[in-house]
Structure 1
Amino acid sequence: MNKLVLILTALLFLSLMPGKFKENQKRYSRVRTAYAEKEAGVIKLLTEKSVEIEKLEIYLRAFKYEKEIELWARNKGEKKFKLIKIYDVCRTSGRLGPKRKEGDFQIPEGFYHIDAFNPASSYYLSMRINYPNKSDRILGYKQKLGGNICIHGNCVTIGCLPITDNEIKELYLFCIEAKDCGQSNIPVTVYPARLTNNNYKNLVEKYNSEKDKVNLWTDLKAAYDKFSESKSLPTVTFLQSGRHEIK
């Protein structure tokens, strides 16, 4: 088992201990630097939206075409999220559409959550999403799906969502605080683009012969609309076909 896997496994275990996650993360110098440089700004951003850091829950939405990651937050117990900040994705790879196999350079699309933190990443700081999810395992190339897809710093990618080192310090800190408050899963939805009615129509028309893409985008569109209307997370059920039921 290599060093990276050992670190991720240990930190995943520690993340299950309420109130201990931040303490263990701050054993790493990059995390301590992030707190020294960004903590005051994080608190300010949350205070401006009436979100208390001691009650923090967050949600991330990524848009491949626009090259953006949105950070949404709410107080624990509230239904509606509030937009806190938008981060620029500074490098991309692949095309619009889901990731279906290892080595295709695709950034995944679909419904995910953060499943591991790496404070000693080769890409400064990184947070791994749980690709392949249930849908990816059904519709992708069996045994060759790839993995280790992350939101990270260092502004390089072959399928990840990179932001600058300066901004990953802040976003990583937000995620630490949410985990430390007891948020077991930080949801991450990755969209091909902002699925406004016009954008969705254009995508479906352009890729109408590629049913795998259109089916996924139809499910993502349903989730996009529900969140846009209510600012609360829809319930997503993974179906045996690889599609999703959105409620």
Structure 2
Amino acid sequence: MAEYMRLRQICLVAPQLAPVIADISAIMGLDVCYRDGNVAKYGLENALLPVDTILLEVVAPFQPGPGTAAGRFIEKTGGRGGYMAIFACEDPDARGAKANAMGVRTANVITHAPYHGVQLHPRDCRAAFIEFNHTDGSDDILGPYPPAGPDWQKSIRKDTTLSLTEVEMQSPEPEGLAAHWGRIIGIPADGPVVKLPNNTFRFVKGDSEIMSGLTFKVVDKAKVLEAAKARGCAVKGDEFLLSGVTFKLTA
């Protein structure tokens, strides 16, 4: 199978799921395609919303505190920063083995045939979890993807939000973090940028290492910003804070 690497999913974390999903749906005009009962064994609940062919997931612990990885993440970061970047590729095990050889540990392996995923340890990845996964038959980006449910494609809406174009990563040493992530995912960084076929990771200077922002292409920026204000989000220019990350808008 030919090698490929593309962004499949971004996962955010929240103390409570329902309010955040309600905000994202109302502001961004996105629909929930699936709630995955398999995450309950990790003490979590979730919801996934397709943004064109990239999935936006939010997870929340059933109980607050350090009993889950997500709960520990919230306590450590104060709820600031995205949780996981999930990449589709041809061979998650081979990609994970290459990361292991760099000193990046495997945190979890998930197999729900035809889906197989390898999650890497966030302490070694820095800033967020990285997951590599593959689903048999998913070489078509609109093909099957079990974590998003059997009919995720039917929930794609484009009347408000068109696409998720960039992920912003923050670090005191952005080019160093970009180079590190580029080595892990097998796409060399160009300065502070790692460019995938369907998304760009942009690394910026900041006090801590976090996934700090998401950039969305939308139909009408003013309408989305007005909806964000109506939901109580702090709006500044063409951006607002939601679920620990800055949502940035382009037309």
Q: Please indicate the TM-score interval, normalised by the length of the shorter structure.
A: under 0.3
Name the structure where helix makes up a greater proportion of residues.
Answer: 1
Name the structure where strand makes up a greater proportion of residues.
Answer: 2
